[in-house]
């Protein structure tokens, strides 16, 4: 999963109020409990030092949330009197409301409550063209559309020479439109970065588009009869197909990354490492934008370890003096997981939640935090770096 949707949070200095709120209550007293939970969250923030405008903005936003079973809750992030992001949750938080006031937005619970499933690009295809839609962590959003030639599109039942020629022209139009759609779909995938692709529509049209996709996309694409451009298409079943495709990709990706992580944590013949684990090594890697995939085990003991951070994502260290050296004279303390997730989001690194019983892996990253690196590094050189900065 890429965390680019969180970048609006990291473009502001903070401090931040982070609230995880359960909206799945359906009891008779749900409204009263909703109001009490909202007030308790705001009171907790005020006790922790949150400013009044931010508390008021969050209180109004919490009271305005609708109660339903889907989504199961919301994560709200606010600073300087403004709610900057409202993210839907797939699972409710552990309690009716959880609130933090901190230097960085507390985003780690999002990995558990929304999952780290990748975005999916859905193409609704017919003979005339296609509509594209991205299914991501914040719901669905339009991702473009394309139209092909509009005439001729329909066959006839006659069998004389002129009609057979007409039918061939229709076939040529279909083939042309399939190529146009495939090209536009490949561009939409490059633009969105969604690694999962679902083709919805009539069998002939979606198969024709599938066959004209670049080989890498053909292998990743899933076809379904559910959903389409026509009114009344069975889109409720489409959601199941999309979620299954996203879950399958996530499972394969976690196993692949863990295999590479286990191999990369051991030095190669030149003594170089392709993976890092533990807070000191990850801080060094984050400073140099070397994290390619960040691994997070939710129960790891290092997630809540405190580190020092500056305004910029690559300003992080184990000591306050390091942040001043990196150019920020007003360092603040933050959780290690939030500091590393900020770095991952702003450097377009992938983030994966590693639940060891589910993956079947023999072991995960030390302390619950690890990374695949964008390039290998010399173990001795890295160790010397830690000696001077730690």
**Chain segment 7-46, per-residue pLDDT in tens:** 999 999 899 999 999 998 667 788 888 999 999 999 999 9
What pLDDT, on the 0 to 100 scale, is given for residue 22? 93
What pLDDT, on the 0 to 100 scale, is given for residue 231? 61
What pLDDT, on the 0 to 100 scale, is given for residue 91? 87
* Dihedral in degrees, nearest 10, Cα atoms 122, 125, 131, 132: 20
What pLDDT, on the 0 to 100 scale, is given for residue 204? 86
**Which of 256-260, 270-274, 363-367, 380-384 has the least mean pLDDT?**
380-384
Instruction: Give the confidence band of 173 by pLDDT, cuts at 50, 70, 90.
Output: low
What pLDDT, on the 0 to 100 scale, is given for residue 355? 80
What pLDDT, on the 0 to 100 scale, is given for residue 264? 93
CA distances to 224, 229, 359 from 203, in Å? 8, 13, 35
Distance from C-alpha of 364 to C-alpha of 354, rounded to nearest angstrom: 7
**Which of 59-68, 128-137, 256-265, 349-358 has the least mean pLDDT?**
349-358
What pLDDT, on the 0 to 100 scale, is given for residue 114? 83
Instruction: Give the confidence band of 320 by pLDDT, cuts at 50, 70, 90.
Output: very high
Phi, psi (deg, nearest 5) at residue 292? -95, -40
Average the pLDDT over 134-154 and give the result: 76
- Nearest-Å Rg of the Cα atoms of the chain is 25
Return the structure tokens found at 167. 């039918």
What pLDDT, on the 0 to 100 scale, is given for residue 155? 43
Which has the closest alpha carbon to 18: 135, 107, 132, 124?
Answer: 107
**Which of 67-71, 162-166, 259-263 has the least mean pLDDT?**
162-166
Q: How many residues does the chain have?
A: 390
Average the pLDDT over 144-172 and give the result: 54
Q: Is the pLDDT of residue 83 over 90?
A: yes
Of these ranges, 7-16, 233-242, 355-364, the one predicted with the greatest mean pLDDT is 7-16
Return the structure tokens found at 218. 């053909």
What pLDDT, on the 0 to 100 scale, is given for residue 205? 87
Average the pLDDT over 153-175 and give the result: 51
- pTM to 2 decimal places: 0.84
What pLDDT, on the 0 to 100 scale, is given for residue 92? 87
Contact partners, residue 92, CB within 8 Å, separation at least 6: 22, 23, 24, 72, 73, 113
The mean pLDDT value of the chain amounts to 86
Give the rounded percent of residues in the chain with a pLDDT score beyond 70.
Answer: 85
Contact partners, residue 355, CB within 8 Å, separation at least 6: 297, 298
Summarised one tens digit per residue, pLDDT across range 281-308 is 999 999 999 999 999 998 899 999 999 9
Average the pLDDT over 275-286 and give the result: 95
Contact 213, 137 (CB under 8 A): no
**Which of 95-109, 150-164, 179-193, 344-358 has the least mean pLDDT?**
150-164
Average the pLDDT over 122-147 and give the result: 89
Distance from C-alpha of 197 to C-alpha of 135, rounded to nearest angstrom: 10
Residue with tokens 């999309």: 242
Return the structure tokens found at 136. 């991501």
Whether omega for the bond prior to residue 71 falls within 30 degrees of 0, making it cis, is: yes
């Amino acid at each position: 999963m890429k965390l680019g949707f969180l970048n609006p949070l990291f473009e502001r200095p903070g401090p931040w109020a982070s609230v995880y709120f359960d909206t799945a209550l359906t009891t008779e007293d749900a409204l009263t409990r909703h109001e009490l939970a909202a007030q308790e969250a705001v009171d907790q923030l005020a006790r922790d030092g949150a400013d009044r405008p931010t508390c008021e903005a969050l209180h109004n936003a919490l009271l305005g949330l609708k109660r339903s079973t889907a989504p199961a809750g919301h994560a709200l992030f606010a600073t300087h009197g403004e709610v900057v992001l409202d993210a839907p949750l797939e699972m409710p938080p552990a309690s009716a409301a959880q609130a933090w006031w901190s230097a960085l937005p507390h985003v780690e619970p999002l990995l558990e409550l929304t999952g780290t499933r990748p975005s999916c690009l859905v193409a609704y295809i017919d003979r005339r063209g296609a509509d594209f839609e991205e299914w991501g962590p914040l719901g669905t959003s339009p991702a473009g559309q394309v139209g092909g030639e509009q005439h001729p599109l329909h066959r006839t039942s006659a069998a004389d020479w002129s009609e057979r020629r007409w039918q061939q022209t229709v076939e040529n139009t279909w083939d042309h439109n399939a190529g146009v759609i495939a090209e536009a779909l490949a561009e939409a995938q490059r633009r969105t970065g969604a690694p999962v692709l679902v083709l919805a529509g009539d069998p002939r049209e979606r198969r024709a588009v599938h066959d004209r996709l670049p080989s890498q996309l053909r292998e990743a694409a899933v076809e379904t009869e559910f959903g389409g451009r026509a009114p009344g298409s069975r889109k409720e079943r489409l959601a199941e197909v999309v979620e299954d495709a996203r879950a399958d990709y996530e499972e394969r990706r976690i196993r692949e990354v863990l295999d590479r992580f286990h191999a990369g944590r051991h030095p190669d013949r030149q003594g170089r490492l392709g993976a890092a684990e533990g807070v000191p090594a990850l801080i060094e890697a984050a400073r140099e934008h070397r994290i390619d995939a960040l691994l997070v085990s939710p129960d790891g003991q290092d997630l809540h370890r405190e580190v020092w951070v500056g305004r910029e994502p690559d300003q992080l260290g184990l000591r306050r003096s390091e942040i001043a050296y990196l150019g920020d004279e007003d360092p603040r303390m933050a959780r290690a997981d939030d500091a590393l997730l900020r770095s991952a989001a702003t450097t377009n690194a992938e983030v994966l939640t590693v639940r060891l019983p589910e993956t079947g892996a023999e072991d995960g990253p030390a302390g619950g935090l690890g990374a695949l690196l964008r390039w290998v590094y010399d173990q001795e050189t890295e160790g010397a770096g830690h000696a001077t900065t730690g």
